[in-house]
Structure 1
Amino acid sequence: MNASDRTPADLLSSALAADPGRPLVTFYDDATGERVELSVATFANWVAKTANLLQDELSVEPGDRVALLLPAHWQTAVWLLACASVGVIADVAGDPAAADVAVSGPEPESLQAARACSGARIALALRPLGGRFPQVPEGFTDYAVEVPGQGDRFVPYAPVDPEEPGLIVAGREFSGAEVVERARAEAPELGLTGPGARILSALPYDTWEGLNAGLYGPLATDGSVVLCRNLDRLPGETVDQRIETERVTATAR
């Protein structure tokens, strides 16, 4: 993290330059038993590929809106940073009819809602290891098919303005600079007190609090996140064991 970082994409670039091998996002889905750990370098590679997909294949431009109809998941975190890299607005659980691109998870109700988008529609299977759909939903492009062939390095066609809108969540609009400033300011409340802090978050991504604990706060403080989906399915002693095993220093549940 550098004092000059003004956008979430800047934070990721600084993390990549400082220590690309350290863990950034560790994801658990306690409904399926999935565990995925992404280093800064691996996460940044997914972000670059997704940003290239947005910019080159989907032809989005700064100021366009991308409706993210996705749960708290490591691939959702990738999309949030990819949107920040291009300069488009990530509209979390936003209205697909008002969006230029709709990105949906595999749930039937999410896919049905995304069909209201008149622009490109991308579907994520959210399968372990970023797997494909057995059968691509009608009217959608399978993210897992398209993203591997994208470039590993991303350069935006136009510089991203930190003061322009970059995120909408729970009806509140944030610029990229506001995301960074608020993440830094609220880090102590989350227990993210310095480099190496590791927070376990089971909060959904449809509120600022969930996004901050589950992505922006750790990124802004050189920390990392253990992002847990369906944590409520586990008994308390198993959760405690995970906290110990994953060397968690703070929790948000």
Structure 2
Amino acid sequence: MHSTSAAHAPPIADDPGVGRPLLTYLDGATGERTDLSAAALGGWAARTASMLRDGCGLTAGDRVAVLLPPHWQTAAVLLGAWSAGITVSFRPWASAGLAPLDASPEEPLDAVFVARRRLDSWLETVPAARHRFVLGLAADGAALDEVPGGYRDYAAEVRRYPDVPPAYQAIRGDDPASPDGTSYEEWARFAGELAAMWGLRRGDRVLVDVARHEEPAKWLLAPLSAGASIVLCANLDRADLDARVAAEGITRVL
């Protein structure tokens, strides 16, 4: 994340624990496992910020919608957009296709990110946008074999940009981070309050069941604000929870 915004957004500069990835994504249904160090996640976020700023010409205050499940690539999109000063609309995955987000044909969003596996069923509710990206959410970040018309493949596009943060005007704490006017400072404060409520501390390794915590403030921002690492679990079999906790060295379960 860009150094000038570090006071108002969760830092991802240092790994919270020697030898531990900052973010691990596990899918109990497919067996997928992806481990990202702080440097790797920061690189993806920096590429995303550059893509939005340099590739799409977006500036601070422009509006982006994220229609994605909790996933390591979703973390990269969110952190990249926020680090570039972009205003982000996000709806929990379970309800993201039920109604349009805050956009109209007369005033389209500046960009939208949507998961390929739900795109066909969401065609009527994906908001209009000047730039539209589709994500296959492959384990290795691979590009799609076939890209739907009118969309660009995020995994292919983002690799064209450097993995260092672009230069841009510093983000102020009172700048809006979401369309309802919630500022970066307010989001950071809320994430810190959640972390304190859950007793999260620096060095913790936090298991997050994505079925229970779909909001990014919970599965992403709160652990990062505490300096914890994240084990993000999709399709988690709760019967295997104790074994997962032991295998991953988990200190907190959400």
TM tier, smaller: 0.7 to 0.9
TM-score by length of 1: 0.85
- 2:159 is paired with a residue of what secondary structure? coil
User: What 5-or-longer segments of structure 1 have no aligned partner?
Assistant: none
Deviations 1:70-115 (A, max 9, x none): 0111111111111111100111034454521111011134651565
Identity over aligned pairs, percent: 33
Structure 1 residues 80 and 51, CA, compared in 2 at 3 Å: closer, same or farther?
Answer: same
Evaluate the alpha carbon distance shift between residue 150 and residue 20 of structure 1 in structure 2; reply closer, same or farther with a 3 A threshold: farther
Tell whether the 8 Å contact from 2:194 to 2:218 is kept in structure 1 after alignment. Answer: no
Structure 2, unaligned stretches of length 5 or more? 92-100
Q: CA deviation at 1:134?
A: 1.3
Q: Could you tell me which amino acid in structure 2 is paired with residue 152 of structure 1?
A: D
Match of 2:219 among 214, 220, 230: 214
Do structure 1's residue 201 and structure 2's residue 208 form an aligned pair? yes
For residues 202 and 229 of structure 2, the distance between their equivalents in structure 1, rounded to whole angstroms, comes to: 9
Q: CA RMSD in A?
A: 2.5
SS at match of 1:101: strand
TM-score, normalised with respect to structure 2: 0.84
**Offset, 1:186:** 2.2
Once residues 86 and 110 of structure 1 are traced to their aligned partners in structure 2, the CA distance between those partners, rounded to angstroms, is 30
Query: Which range moves more in the overlay, 89-98 or 123-132?
Result: 89-98
d(CA) in 1 for partners of 2:233, 2:17: 24
Q: Which residue of 1 aligns with 2:26?
A: 28
1:249 is matched with 251
Q: 2:232: which partner in 1?
A: 227
Q: Does 1:142 align with 2:153?
A: yes
Amino acid corresponding to residue 196 of structure 1 in structure 2 = G
1:103 corresponds, among 92, 101, 113, to 113
In the TM superposition, what is the alpha-carbon distance from 1:116 to its structure 2 partner? 3.6
Alpha-carbon spacing, 1:229–1:95, altered in 2? closer, same or farther (3 Å): farther
Q: CA deviation at 1:212?
A: 2.9
- Closer, same or farther in 2 for the Cα pair 1:20/1:64, shift >3 Å? farther
The 2-side partners of 1:163 and 1:28 are apart by 35
Aligned mates of 2:186, 2:205 — CA distance in 1:
23
Q: CA deviation at 1:138?
A: 1.0
Aligned CA distance change for structure 1 residues 139 and 30 (closer, same or farther; 3 Å)? same
How many residues are aligned here? 238
